[in-house]
């Protein structure tokens, strides 16, 4: 059964309660599997836009569609991903991106890297 970090669901719902809009951007060739996964995580209901489709354009098309649906400016968007190439391309659009980098393979934890290379 898929799951989020223990406090993640509460944080996401608290953000929604504060009026912060959230969207889902996923590059997946299997829409049904992706939406089932999101349903099991229990987070689809908090999304104001859901862009899940196979794409060869990194995440730019996802963010353009989210912008058209919501009117939210790119420079007001925050994006978390585990692929630095996605962070790079959406950052050029004005989106603020954070990339998850894996640990050292020996059990060392990973961390979030901001565009400037700062690890948290």
Cα–Cα dist 103/6, whole Å: 20
State the chain's mean pLDDT as an integer.
85
The set of long-range contacts for 51-57, using a CB threshold of 8 Å and a minimum separation of 24, is 51/23, 51/24, 51/25, 51/26, 52/24, 52/25, 52/26, 52/28, 53/27, 53/28, 54/27, 54/28, 54/29, 55/27
pLDDT in tens, 24-71: 999 899 999 999 999 999 999 999 999 999 877 678 999 999 999 999
Give the pLDDT confidence score for residue 37 in this predicted structure. Answer: 92
CA 104 from chain centre, in angstroms, equals 23
At residue 17, does pLDDT exceed 90?
Answer: yes
Tokens 């959406």 belong to residue? 90
**pTM for this entry:** 0.81
At residue 80, does pLDDT exceed 70?
Answer: yes
Banded pLDDT at 119 (limits 50, 70, 90): very low
Q: What is the DSSP letter of 44?
A: G
Tokens 């659009």 belong to residue? 93
Domain 8-114 has CATH 3.40.50.1000: yes
Residue with more model confidence, 112 or 13 = 13
């Amino acid at each position: 059964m898929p799951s989020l970090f223990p406090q993640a669901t509460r944080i996401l719902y608290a953000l929604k309660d504060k009026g912060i809009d959230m969207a889902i951007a996923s590059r997946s060739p299997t829409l049904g599997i992706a939406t089932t996964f999101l349903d099991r995580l229990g987070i689809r209901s908090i999304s104001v836009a859901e862009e899940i489709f196979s794409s060869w354009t990194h995440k730019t098309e996802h963010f353009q569609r989210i912008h058209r649906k919501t009117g939210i400016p790119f420079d007001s968007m925050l994006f978390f991903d585990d692929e630095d190439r996605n962070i790079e391309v959406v950052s050029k659009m004005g989106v603020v991106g954070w990339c998850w980098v894996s640990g050292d393979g020996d059990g060392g934890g990973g961390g979030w890297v901001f565009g400037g290379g700062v690890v948290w």
